[in-house]
């Protein structure tokens, strides 16, 4: 029962979000063998000005053991 949460800079269209959810669903089905009915996808819009505090610090810096793909940017200049 994979559930994927995508935190995304606000401003993407509903069409883009739907397409992203479809692509992620297919990737999950392929990678771990889940059936489509078992996959759920949530998409959360995040204002760019809030990214560091609501995503980067808690989800990227704060959870290194769960991060399987690290970003190629550092908004904190480190």
User: What positions carry a catalytic annotation?
Assistant: 2
Per the structure block, which two tokens stand in for 11? 């401003």
User: According to DSSP H, which parts of 1-78 are helical?
Assistant: 14-32, 51
The answer to whether 9 and 29 have CB atoms below 8 angstroms apart is: no
The answer to whether 12 and 54 have CB atoms below 8 angstroms apart is: no
């Amino acid at each position: 029962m994979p559930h994927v949460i995508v935190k995304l800079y606000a401003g993407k269209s509903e069409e883009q979000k739907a397409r992203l959810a479809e692509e992620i669903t297919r990737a999950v089905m392929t990678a771990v063998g889940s059936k489509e009915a078992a996959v759920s996808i949530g998409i959360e819009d995040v204002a760019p000005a809030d990214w560091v505090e609501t995503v980067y610090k808690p989800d990227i810096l704060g959870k290194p053991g769960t991060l399987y793909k690290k970003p190629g940017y550092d908004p904190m200049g480190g």
